[in-house]
Amino acid sequence: MNMSFLQELFTTITRRDALRRRRRAGAPPPHHGEVVDACAALLASDGEASSIALASRALALYQGLSPQERVAFFERLAADFAAEPEAIDGAYAAYREARDNDSLQALFLACEPRRQELFRRLNLASDGTHALVEMREDLLALLRERPDFTGIDRDFAHLFGSWFNRGFLVLKRIDWNTPASILEKIIRYEAVHEIQDWDDLRRRLDARNRRCFAFFHPAIGDEPLIFVEVALCKGLPNRIQPILGGEDGGVEDPEDADSAAFFGISNCQTGLRGISFGNFLIKQVVQELKHELPQLKYFVTLSPVPGFRQWLEERRHDESLPRALRETLGELDAAEWQREPERAAKLEAVVKPLAARYLVHEKNARGKPLNPVARFHLGNGAELHRVNWLGDVSAKGLKQAAGLMVNYLYVLDDIERNHENYTANATVASSSDVRDLARKARKMAKGESSK
C-alpha cells in the first residue's frame, strides 16, 4: 500500500469524500477485485495502525461498487473467505488425539470463517459498524436468489448479535427537541403508519400526551435502530385514526392517563434483521413510563393485523364453511363498505369472530401463530386482549385487515408466565372476550347460529 496512508488517516475526509475525489480525478468506478484485494491486505495486516486505513479503503471501495459488482464481491466472500476444509480436518484430527483445551481452541478457530475476522477488522474504520450493517442489507436483498450466500449472512448475524447486545444499546426519548437529523429518519423509517411530512411528525410527537423512544447504538451515532410511538389515553384506545390525526388522540393532561398505548413499532435498519431488541425496547419503555407517570395502569398496543384480509379471502373459497358465511364475506368487495352502517354491521358479526379464530388458532409450520405481529407480542408475554372493529379505516388498514386492529395487553405480573407458556406450549394468552369470539367463530363454521 501507498506510504502516505497516514495522510488519509490523519485528515478527516470521509469515505464519501474519497469516492468523490476519485470520481473527480476521472478514475473508473471500482471493481470488486479491488475490494477483495483490500480485504485480503486487511486480513494480512497484523492489526496495527495501517489496519484502520485499509479498512477505510475497503469500505470506501465497496460503497463505490455497482450492484453487479457487489454480487461478484459476495461471491468471492463466500468462496475465498470461508473456513478451510483441510485446516478443519487437520485440527479435528489433532483434537481427537489430544482432547485438550489447546486442540479444541485450534479446532474452533479453524472452523470460524475468515469472514468473521474480516468483519471485525472492517469495523476498525470510522463509521465501520454502520457500513457493515448496510453491507448486510445489500446481502439480504440477494439471499432469496443466492442461497449460497447464507454462510456470509450467518457470519454477519453472529457478529451483530454480539455487537448489538442489549447491554450496548442506549434508550433515548425522541421529541420535538430532538435534532432534525434524527427526526428525518423517524419520518423515513416509520413502517406501520406512514408519516407524511414534518407537520404530521409533529402531530404525532409533540403533544403532551405523546411519547416516542428509540434504541441507539453508540457506534452508529444518530441512526435509530428501532423506535416505538406511544399515546397516553384514558382507557384502551380502539381506533388509530384519532391518534394519527393528533386530535382527541389521548388525554389532554398526562396526569389523567391510565393507559399507555403503543401504536407503532418500527425497525429502522434492514441490515439488522433477526437481531432482536424489540422486546427489550417495549419493556424498557414501560419502565420509563412507570417512572414518569406512576399512575399508569395499562400498557397496551394498538396493533395492525397484516395478512388477515388475505386469510379471509381464502376462507371465501373454503368449502367446508357454510355458504351464507362465505357470501357475507363477499361484501368486503363493495367499495366503501365501511361507510354503510347496515352492511358494516352484518360484516362485523362475522369478521370479528373470525379474527379471534385467526389470531388464536391459526398456526404456521412451527406451530406458532400465523400472524407475525401476534407472534411478536405473545412471544413477549403480552395477552391478546381485544379485537377492534373499524380500528383502522385507512386504505391500507382496509386492505390488509378489513379495518381491524387489535390490542395486546402487557400485564406486568403475567408477562413471565404468558411468555413461558407461549414458548413451551405455544399457548396464546387471551382475554375472555377474545375467547368468546373464537368460540363463536367455531360455531359459525359449523353452521350453528351464534347465541
Q: Starting from the edge strand earliest in sequence, which strands make up the sheet with 170-173, in order?
A: 170-173, 210-216, 226-233, 259-267, 298-301, 405-410, 383-388
Residue 101 sits in the site that holds its own copies (CB under 8 A): yes
Residue 425 sits in the site that holds its own copies (CB under 8 A): no
Residue 421 sits in the site that holds its own copies (CB under 8 A): no
Considering only 217-225, 241-249, 329-337, 366-374, which stretch makes contact with its own copies by CB under 8 A?
217-225
Considering only 126-134, 229-237, 262-270, 318-326, which stretch makes contact with its own copies by CB under 8 A?
126-134
Contact 404, 392 (CB under 8 A): yes
Residue 111 sits in the site that holds its own copies (CB under 8 A): yes
For the CB of residue 359, give the shortest distance to its own copies in the complex, in Å. Answer: 20
Contact 130, 57 (CB under 8 A): no
Largest CA distance in the chain: 84
Q: Is 188 helix (H, G, I), strand (E, B) or coil?
A: helix
For the CB of residue 191, give the shortest distance to its own copies in the complex, in Å. Answer: 21
For the CB of residue 329, give the shortest distance to its own copies in the complex, in Å. Answer: 36
Task: Report the amino acid identity of residue 284.
Answer: Q
Residue 120 backbone phi and psi in degrees, to 5: -60, -40
Whole-angstrom Cα distance, residue 450 to residue 366?
32
Q: Name the residue with cell 474519497.
A: 18
x-marked contacts with its own copies along 247-286 as a string, rule CB under 8 A = -----xx----------------------x--xx--x--x
For the CB of residue 110, give the shortest distance to its own copies in the complex, in Å. Answer: 8
Considering only 31-39, 150-158, 318-326, 399-407, which stretch makes contact with its own copies by CB under 8 A?
150-158
Q: Name the residue with cell 422486546.
A: 279
Q: Which of residues 79-98 bind its own copies (CB under 8 A)?
A: 82-83, 85, 88-89, 92, 95-96
For the CB of residue 325, give the shortest distance to its own copies in the complex, in Å. Answer: 38
Contact 159, 120 (CB under 8 A): yes
Considering only 32-40, 159-167, 235-243, 349-357, which stretch makes contact with its own copies by CB under 8 A?
159-167
Residue 128 sits in the site that holds its own copies (CB under 8 A): yes
In 3D space, the residue among 189, 124, 136, 185 whose CA is nearest the CA of residue 160 turns out to be 136
Residue 161 sits in the site that holds its own copies (CB under 8 A): yes
Which bin fits 280, alpha (ψ -120 to 50), beta or left (φ > 0)?
alpha
Give 190's contacts (C-beta < 8 A, 6+ positions apart).
Answer: 229, 264, 266
Nearer to its own copies, 279 or 431 (CB): 279
Considering only 1-9, 238-246, 338-346, 361-369, which stretch makes contact with its own copies by CB under 8 A?
1-9
Active centre residues (catalytic):
303, 377
Q: Which of residues 399-418 bind its own copies (CB under 8 A)?
A: 412-413, 415-417
Nearer to its own copies, 283 or 439 (CB): 283
Answer for which of 31, 172, 316, 419 binds its own copies (CB under 8 A) is 419
For the CB of residue 42, give the shortest distance to its own copies in the complex, in Å. Answer: 13
Which three three-digit cell numbers place residue 381? 408475554
Nearer to its own copies, 92 or 298 (CB): 92
Please state the separation of Cα 301 from the chain's center in Å: 16
Whole-angstrom Cα distance, residue 177 to residue 207?
12
Angle (CA) 303 306 310, round 5°? 145
Nearer to its own copies, 162 or 310 (CB): 162
Whole-angstrom Cα distance, residue 10 to residue 174?
34
Residue 54 sits in the site that holds its own copies (CB under 8 A): no
For the CB of residue 89, give the shortest distance to its own copies in the complex, in Å. Answer: 8
Q: How many CA atoms lie within 13 A of 141 on its CB side?
A: 11
